[in-house]
Amino acid sequence: MSTRSTSEGSSGRQFVLAPNIAPDWGQTMRIFAGLSAVCLGIALVCTWMGFWPVLPFAGLELTALGIALYTSARRSLDREIIHVDGNAVRVEKGRGRVEQAWDLNRAWTEVVLRRLPRRWGETQLLLRSRGQELIIGDFLEAEERRSLARELGRCIGPMARCGDDGIVSATAADEAQAAPSVGPSHSLGDRTG
């Protein structure tokens, strides 16, 4: 998983959440082509030797593998972007583009890390504002979710301070990847995976 936080202007922050599921599309296609060449080569040799039933099974295996790689590559495009600026919190979710967006009041929004019943150690991170609950970072690991909750807690809420300490990475692993400054974006196509 990948979380990244950057400063946005003088008082704003932006958090970009992305799953780290698969390599990019080019790598996925090269892996699929390599596996297909090996599998079809073996199947064709077996067919030439008279074991023709191997060929349809090889085709089925490659079809299933192609579907799995395609699904994984598409999920790697999922993004959640949280903009905290002034008295507004804007959350955008989508795959390659903004598909859903929510606007919340920063002072009346609370960051909640809720422990899920019947799931040992599992938590759920959400923003709660005026009776509305918005789940964020559902694909993050538990430690990443806790770290993001701490960072958001410093920015969101009536007593929060935000934007005056520069760039802060939501996870220690992403400190080296944090960009110096990113302007507001309406495209979720940025690949951080």
Cα(39)–Cα(25) distance, integer angstroms: 21
Q: Helix, strand, coil proportions of the chain in percent (round to 5)?
A: 35, 30, 35
| Residue ranges with strand state E in 56-108 | 78-85, 88-95, 100-105
pLDDT in tens, the chain (193 residues): 455 666 655 568 889 998 877 567 788 889 899 999 999 999 999 999 999 999 999 999 999 999 998 888 888 888 899 998 888 899 999 988 889 999 998 888 999 998 887 767 788 999 998 888 999 988 888 888 899 999 888 888 776 666 554 433 344 334 333 333 333 444 454 444 3
